[in-house]
């Protein structure tokens, strides 16, 4: 199966992955581009949703609750966290753009244990991972410590010429606390937009081994295996990760062949 999902650069829905299209069980992802006053409605029984205002300004209505004027970023490359809204399963989620906007809908199976809520930028943990040419900047939008039934959502900015999700790591084995099983999508953005990055997805036995040139708005699906990203000089990378699996725990294993990089002085 081809793990690269190419974006429709001219479309309103830029790109979409469903459990059916991916051939898996948990993760769903949809990114849309909205003009001012344009509306997008999302509703699925049995699936929770995290709406992320990637860029622009929008209002979000979940059932009878509504939040307006969400969004301060002009671009995902602005040095600030986004606004997000958590929605329980079965409830209509209505997003109305107040300016030109880019919005992501991240979903996973849910028993409906948590109410709708606004997730503000100041509540999100921002951190730096790696060092030297492995440095990248992380924002935890919906991390393991915050309420949800299945979803984990995080965004990462990787500077020009750097590697990310590196050393290569995987989370496809039910062996807690060492490793958990999580499906994952990478929604890629590039700056400038004509750029590209590289992502490889591979298993230990090379049953899966795909190397992909990803362009702006493309999605890479990671059903299993290691999944590093490399960014050419002159371009900055952003990706939004959505993860979900049988247990809502992010425990990963580094590729032993490359783990030595962590200890390098």
DSSP string, 188-211: EEEESTT-EEEEEEE-TTSSSEEE
Question: Mean pLDDT, to the nearest integer, of 58-73?
Answer: 97
The per-residue pLDDT of the chain, averaged, comes to: 97
For residue 263, the model assigns a pLDDT of 81
Would the pTM count as exceeding 0.85?
A: yes
The verdict on whether omega for the bond into residue 212 sits within 30 degrees of 0, i.e. cis, is: no
Residue 14 has pLDDT above 80, yes or no: yes
Strand order in the sheet with 58-62: 39-42, 93-97, 58-62, 65-70
Q: Which residue has the higher pLDDT, 10 or 216?
A: 216
Helix then strand count (H, E) for the chain reads 2, 25
Question: Mean pLDDT, to the nearest integer, of 175-194?
Answer: 97
Distance CA 151, CA 202 (A): 23
Residue 264 has pLDDT above 80, yes or no: no
Distance CA 208, CA 122 (A): 39
> Please, what sign has the CA dihedral across residues 238, 242, 248, 250?
negative
Cβ–Cβ < 8 Å for 50, 112: no
Read off the DSSP letter of residue 42: E
């Amino acid at each position: 199966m081809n793990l690269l999902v190419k974006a429709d650069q001219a479309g309103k829905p830029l790109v979409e992955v469903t459990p059916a299209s991916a051939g898996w069980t948990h993760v769903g992802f949809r990114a849309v581009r909205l003009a001012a006053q344009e509306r997008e409605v999302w509703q699925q029984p049995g699936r929770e949703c995290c709406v992320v205002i990637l860029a622009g300004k929008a209002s979000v209505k979940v059932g009878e609750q509504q939040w307006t004027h969400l969004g301060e970023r002009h671009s995902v490359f602005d040095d600030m966290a986004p606004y997000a809204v958590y929605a329980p399963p079965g409830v209509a989620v209505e997003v109305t753009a107040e300016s030109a906007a880019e919005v992501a809908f991240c979903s996973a199976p849910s028993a409906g244990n948590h109410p709708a809520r606004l997730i503000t930028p100041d509540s999100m943990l921002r951190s730096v991972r790696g060092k030297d040419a492995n440095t990248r900047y992380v924002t935890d939008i919906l991390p393991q410590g915050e309420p949800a039934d299945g979803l984990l959502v995080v965004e990462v900015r990787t500077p020009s010429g750097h590697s990310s999700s590196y050393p290569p790591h995987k989370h496809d084995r039910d062996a807690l606390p060492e490793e958990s099983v999580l499906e994952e999508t990478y929604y890629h953005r590039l700056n400038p937009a004509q750029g590209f990055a590289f992502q490889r997805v591979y298993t230990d036995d090379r049953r899966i081994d795909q190397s992909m040139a990803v362009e702006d708005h493309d999605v890479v699906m990671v059903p299993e295996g290691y999944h590093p990203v490399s960014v050419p000089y002159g371009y900055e990378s952003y990706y939004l990760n959505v993860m979900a699996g049988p247990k809502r725990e992010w425990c990963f294993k580094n590729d032993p062949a490359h783990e030595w990089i962590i200890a390098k002085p």
